[in-house]
Chain A
Amino acid sequence: MSYAYSTSARTLSRRGIAVAVVASLAVPFCGAYAQLGGLVKKAKDRVVEQQVANQVEKRVNPVASNPGAPPKFDDVTLELTNDRIAQIIHGLSAGRAVLDGTNGSPSRATLIAQRDDAARQSADLSQKNAKAFEAYNEKRDASQRCRNDAIHASREKRQQANDQRAKELQAKAMSDPAFREKAVAMAQKMAVAQQKGDTAEVRRLMIELNGAPESDNVDSLAADKACGSLPPQPAAMVQSQKLDAQANKLSDAIRQLEQQAAETEVKESKLTERQYQMARERIEAYLSAMKYNSEPGGFSAGERQALGARRADLEKVM
């Protein structure tokens, strides 16, 4: 007994020692490894971060930094040579002709005048009839509130009636075998009609089962009954809205004409759209800088010379 106990005790004790040794070795070792690994990683991260930061620093502060230097010319950003500027002026002139209505359509100036005239007339009507418009709006809002309430009440009432009828039909189907059979047969017929896409037959069967459906505008009719119809708009208001619609239409026409002019500019310049838009934007930047007597940045010496030579022509057509 004691031996057995003793063996067991020794075994346990050996196991205990082994566990303790493993634990005592493993824990600090793992801890040290983790700490060392963390330090190595942090140091590596710092080195990488520093390298990235140095590269960025070199990029940000190059030795011979020239902020006004031209951009890198490529397929999109073309150098503005004499020939290219001539092409662009040709494109701009063609676009301007579209805006001036030389292709037979009304000019932008005409469309703007018509639009502004319509907007002015509308504003005049609104101003002269302000009190009548305000009174109408108040009446309309009150009527709308009344109608919303009436429509909601009518819908609720119908929903309750429908729920009640559904309950009654369910009860009838439970208690009346003949009705149940009829309903099943009807459902089968309906399924067949639906499969065939025969909506008229589906509707007929529905009426046979449930009776004629209510009219679609039953809630609106209930609202009319409770609140009366919407008050009629004052004539001046109708006229003002027509004028607003006309002004909107003319604004859209102006935008379409401008779009057409822009497309013509690109086409006639013989550049791609991206090349043209980039060149146009750079020319605008150049003209703006010159107008305010500041040094135009982002242009080569050749470009400055070519743009300077055609500045007056560009200002005329831009």
Chain B
Amino acid sequence: MPLGALPGAIRIAAIAFVAIAATPLRPAPDRVPPRAALPPSSLAVWTGKAWREWWRSDDAPDRWRGPHDAVADAVRWRTAANGVEWGELRLAGTGEARRLRAVVVRIDPRVVRLRLDTAFTAGGERAAWTVDDARPDAIMAVNVGQFVRTLPWGWVVLDGHQFLAPGSGPLATAVAVDSSGTVRWIGPDSLKDANLRRGVVAAFQSYPTLLTADGEIPPPLREPGRGIDVEHRDARLGIGALPNGRLLIVLTRFDAFGETLGSIPFGPTIPEFAALMGALGARQAVALDGGISGQMLVRDADGTHTWRGLRKVPMALVVLKKS
């Protein structure tokens, strides 16, 4: 029946129904405005020709559905070895973060071997690992986890044996490697599940979670006063998972006068760093011990590239060729 044949009220209802039905469905918005604001800041990336602003605290997305083209395209990837690529990008932020460099590494855990190395002084009194201690066959090495004084915080599995018991916290994430080389990301509540811990040969825990499994920024990182300092600037280090199962490791460095002052702990805020991980394509991510602890090494055909920290740490993730 044509609409014109319907009596008044029914006709209006029918028109309204047709109008509603015809309106295309929009995806739920990623931005939810009514909440306390993050401190004002922005991030720009050097595209090779110009600075391109790609993130603002007053318009920050709550979820990263994929990489940001300008950021992802700014990395010139170099192959370190089969399954390991690395690159750098220049960033400009606010205040102390006005000149930053991010070192980015992509690792395919299916074609390399991941292991955890620990190092302590003779009496066990101090943590003792630095990038200079990385084994000579390491393709890449980076400090992982967090620590209070000497021993790593949270769950640690070394060579298939639990070395330290799990820690707890709402924003803690465990990264576990099983005997097949698959990397599992385990949230704070799931560590109790013995099935998820079975077959794990290496694991560590860290915090805070930067992105949850679907690229979502955890609510405490979206506004002040929810348990995370969203204002503090520091050198940052994080590990993330790309959609294809590869790992993404990002270390930020202060970028005045090249690497000379690289270890100075000036850098992005935690929300900015979460955005960087998301913009580089990570679907989930967790922060590692940055600040003066952050350090990384990559070996490629050109030699050894080292980004040193100012502090010795207890544990490192080491990437080796699959034997």
Chain A residues in contact with chain B, CB under 8 A? 49, 52-53, 56-57, 59-60, 62, 65, 67-68, 71-72, 76, 99, 108-109, 112, 115-116, 244, 248, 251-252, 254-255, 258-259, 261-262, 274, 278, 281, 284-285, 288-289, 297-298
Please name all residues of chain A whose beta carbon is closer than 8 Å to the beta carbon of B161 when the two chains form the complex.
244
Contact call A68/B261, Cβ cutoff below 8 A: yes
Please name all residues of chain A whose beta carbon is closer than 8 Å to the beta carbon of B232 when the two chains form the complex.
76, 274, 278
Is B242 at the interface (CB under 8 A from chain A)? no
Is B52 at the interface (CB under 8 A from chain A)? yes
Contact call A297/B98, Cβ cutoff below 8 A: no
Contact call A60/B124, Cβ cutoff below 8 A: no
Interface segment, one of B76-84, B88-96, B216-224, B269-277 = B88-96
Please name all residues of chain A whose beta carbon is closer than 8 Å to the beta carbon of B191 when the two chains form the complex.
none
Contact call A281/B148, Cβ cutoff below 8 A: no
Please name all residues of chain B whose beta carbon is closer than 8 Å to the beta carbon of A278 when the two chains form the complex.
232
Please name all residues of chain A whose beta carbon is closer than 8 Å to the beta carbon of B151 when the two chains form the complex.
251, 254-255, 258
Contact call B98/A59, Cβ cutoff below 8 A: yes
Contact call B94/A59, Cβ cutoff below 8 A: yes
- Per-position binary interface string of chain B over residues 229-250, scored 1 when its CB falls under 8 Å from any chain A CB and 0 otherwise: 1011100000000000000000
Name the residue of chain A whose CB is nearest to the CB of B161: A244
Q: Does more than half of chain B's interface fall in helix, strand or loop, or is it mixed?
A: loop
B91 to chain A, nearest CB (A): 9
- Per-position binary interface string of chain B over residues 56-98, scored 1 when its CB falls under 8 Å from any chain A CB and 0 otherwise: 0000000000000000000000000000000000001011101
Is B17 at the interface (CB under 8 A from chain A)? no
Name the residue of chain A whose CB is nearest to the CB of B120: A112
Contact call B266/A298, Cβ cutoff below 8 A: yes
A116 to B125, CA, bound (A): 12
B268 to chain A, nearest CB (A): 14
Q: Given contacts A76-B232, A112-B123, A258-B149, are A60 and B164 in contact (CB under 8 A)? A: no
Please name all residues of chain A whose beta carbon is closer than 8 Å to the beta carbon of B165 when the two chains form the complex.
248, 252
Count of chain B residues near A, Cβ 8 A: 40
Contact call A71/B256, Cβ cutoff below 8 A: no
Contact call A56/B124, Cβ cutoff below 8 A: no
Name the residue of chain B whose CB is nearest to the CB of A288: B310
B132 to chain A, nearest CB (A): 12
A297 to B292, CA, bound (A): 12
A57 to B50, CA, bound (A): 9
Q: Given contacts A112-B124, A255-B151, A288-B292, are A53 and B266 in contact (CB under 8 A)? A: no
A209 to chain B, nearest CB (A): 35
Name the residue of chain B whose CB is nearest to the CB of A74: B231
Among B148-199, those with CB < 8 Å from A are 148-151, 153, 161-165
Please name all residues of chain B whose beta carbon is closer than 8 Å to the beta carbon of A76 when the two chains form the complex.
229, 231-232
Name the residue of chain B whose CB is nearest to the CB of A69: B96
A229 to chain B, nearest CB (A): 22
Please name all residues of chain B whose beta carbon is closer than 8 Å to the beta carbon of A49 when the two chains form the complex.
50, 52
Selected A-B contacts with CB under 8 Å, 12 pairs: A52-B51, A53-B53, A60-B51, A65-B256, A248-B163, A248-B165, A254-B151, A255-B148, A258-B149, A258-B151, A285-B264, A298-B266
Please name all residues of chain B whose beta carbon is closer than 8 Å to the beta carbon of A99 when the two chains form the complex.
149
Contact call B123/A60, Cβ cutoff below 8 A: no
Please name all residues of chain B whose beta carbon is closer than 8 Å to the beta carbon of A255 when the two chains form the complex.
148, 151, 153, 164
Please name all residues of chain B whose beta carbon is closer than 8 Å to the beta carbon of A252 when the two chains form the complex.
164-165
Contact of B266 among A62, A71, A244, A251 (CB under 8 A): A71
Known: A53-B52, A262-B148, A297-B261; 14 extra A-B contacts, CB below 8 A, are A56-B92, A65-B256, A67-B256, A68-B264, A99-B149, A108-B125, A109-B123, A251-B151, A252-B164, A258-B149, A284-B292, A285-B265, A288-B310, A298-B264
A281 to B254, CA, bound (A): 16
A274 to B164, CA, bound (A): 26
Contact call B229/A254, Cβ cutoff below 8 A: no
